[in-house]
Amino acid sequence: MTRIKRLHWGDWLILAGIAGVCVFLVLRVQGTLEYKWRWGDIPRYILAYDASTHAWFANMLLQGLLMTLRISIFASVLALILGIVLGLGRTARSLAVRLLARTYLELLRNVPPVVIIFIFYFFLSAPLIDALRIDFWARAIARSDHAAVWTFFFGDMRRFSQLVSGTIVLALFESAFVGEIVRAGIESVGRGQREAANSIGMTHFQSMRFIILPQAMRKIMPPMANQFIMLIKDSSIVSLISVQELTFKTLELVSSTRMIFEGWLTAAAFYFVISFSFSRYFARKERKFRLSP
Amino acid sequence: MTHSPGKPVIRARSLNKYYGDFHALKDVSLDVGEGERLVICGPSGSGKSTLIRCFNALEFHQSGTLSVGGIEVHEDSREIIRLRQEVGMVFQQFNLFPHLTVLENLTIGPTKVLKVPQAEAEAAARLYLGRVHIPDQADKYPHQLSGGQQQRVAIARSLCMKSRVILFDEPTSALDPEMINEVLDVMVELADTGMTMVVVTHEMGFARKVADRVVFMAEGEILEIDTPESFFRNPKTARGRDFLDKILQH
């Protein structure tokens, strides 16, 4: 099948139709709901100027975006570690280990994410944060001298425990999918490699560490990058446990200012820009990676 | 030249192995002496590969006894790792590690398993690369080498482990014809150093040249064990005659 690379008159017709529908929807919103668009107000909810301190500061939407990025990055790292453990568990020799890993996976696959998030939050992350007295510790840092460094990496330290629970909950949730990717990667390494590793006297652990995992990692890069983008989008569910990321902040903005359409469209644009840039970046990396040995 | 085998390194008694209902090894008994060069031949599916894969515990027999280098081989043995350090294996498909350079392929075993210092392992690796006639390919990756070169790297990898015995599982079957001899030449030279070798192969020229004894297997059984001269000139069984007719008719 050859792909047509030019638009024909029929295509223009379709595009015009779609544009028409969009215009109709916008007009309807304005007409029947008597909605007053206030796009001009949006920028100051991203960046605002504080007249008393003469400084620009990140307002709600940008704060939310930064929190989303922080949570996504921390959760990805944690999910990767947990996922590798899970993937190894899925391919382990011991039946008990395989059963445990499989059970975890199936539970996560067959329960809706929102329910899982609440369960993880109330059963795991909340008690953990209490037990480790993370709140107490974070507040002490917020008052200390090098609060700025901590704030750069972790956001407002007074909300540190939220970042921790968001990260833990999201990582636990995503680790199941990462685990499946790792398992597929491990299984894609041929039996001959394992036998060759065995025949030079490597233990199971050594052959995993030096032979199987390094090869599996190369193969799982593309699906892993994809999962990272999924994770950024999935991070919006942690707004349900009051983690102040982009979705939570947008909700807050919308309910206090009534800029329903502007607020959500801006949030959508933010998510799209992050996800799409990462996806283009990974696609380019992958192409380069495939060309090199 | 017939070599009188020393005390047995491999000692198999009445080995039986099944894959489900398929009886892969039937009452196989065999001794391989220190320094002996043994060639195992037979039609495909005769259990040759299965037998040598039992020798380094890549597979396990279900009944009978097998001792290799003084270690009893069975599935729950704690000494399997030690056993595999004593017995090298060269595979039909080479099975080099594609993510490592040639040099790293040779040093990873010694450094990680035998805990040899890196510099020492590299020196040994370069020595053995010279021995298999590819001293200048150390920094390439396996996919940059020809099949014959890859198989010679695989042989060097076994040598680097200072194995007492090297098993060859059809080492030339996956090679283009013009590369077979460069691998066989290396194996002949290796035989001349007195290495104990068990070779599953259809290369009868090689068998004639270096084998002390030839084992002929069919359908999981050992039908003949003989010197190469006598096996090739005058096979004792009808199956053996039939096999030789088929592979030597060209």
Per-residue pLDDT, A1? 67
Query: 0.80 exceeded by the pTM?
Result: no
> Domain ranges in chain A?
58-291
Residue A154 — very low, low, confident or very high, per pLDDT cuts 50/70/90?
confident
Distance CA A179, CA B40 (A): 44
Per-residue pLDDT, B250? 59
Nearest CA among A190, A224, A207 for reference residue A84:
A224
What are the pLDDT digits (tens) for A227-239?
999 999 999 999 9
Q: DSSP H helical segments within chain A, as ranges?
A: 9-32, 42-46, 60-90, 95-109, 113-119, 126-131, 134-143, 147-154, 160-188, 191-199, 204-206, 213-234, 246-257, 260-291
Q: Chain A residue closest to B87 (CA)?
A: A199
Q: Chain A residue closest to B92 (CA)?
A: A192
* Per-residue pLDDT at A84 exceeds 70: yes
The share of chain A scoring above pLDDT 90, in percent, equals 47
Distance CA B57, CA B71 (A): 11
Please report the number of interchain residue pairs, chain A to chain B, with beta-carbon separation below 8 angstroms: 63
Per-residue pLDDT, B1? 41
Q: Chain A residue closest to B163 (CA)?
A: A200
Tell me the nearest-neighbour CA distance from B158 into chain A, angstroms: 7
Say if CB B120 and CB B106 are below 8 A apart: no
CATH code at A58-291 = 1.10.3720.10
Check CB contact of A188 with chain B, cutoff 8 Å.
no
Nearest to A200 among B82, B109, B141 (CB): B109
Per-residue pLDDT, A3? 83
Q: Indicate the angle between helix axes B147-160 and B177-192, nearest 10 degrees.
A: 20
A200 and B87: CB-CB below 8 Å?
A: no
Per-residue pLDDT, A148? 77
What are the pLDDT digits (tens) for A198-248?
999 999 899 999 999 999 988 888 899 999 999 999 999 999 988 888 999
Token pair in block for residue A252: 């807050």
What are the pLDDT digits (tens) for A86-100?
999 998 888 999 999
Distance CA A29, CA A36 (A): 9
A199 and B99: CB-CB below 8 Å?
A: no
B85 and A200: CB-CB below 8 Å?
A: yes
Instruction: Note the maximum CA span of chain B.
Output: 55
Instruction: Note the maximum CA span of chain A.
Output: 77
Per-residue pLDDT, A195? 94
Distance CA A85, CA B249 (A): 56
Q: Which of B89, B99, B160 to mutate to test the interface with A (most CBs of A within 10 A)?
A: B99
- Mean pLDDT, rounded, of chain A: 88
The residue ranges of chain B whose pLDDT is under 50 are: 1-3
* Per-residue pLDDT at A256 exceeds 80: yes
What are the pLDDT digits (tens) for A102-117?
999 999 889 998 898 8
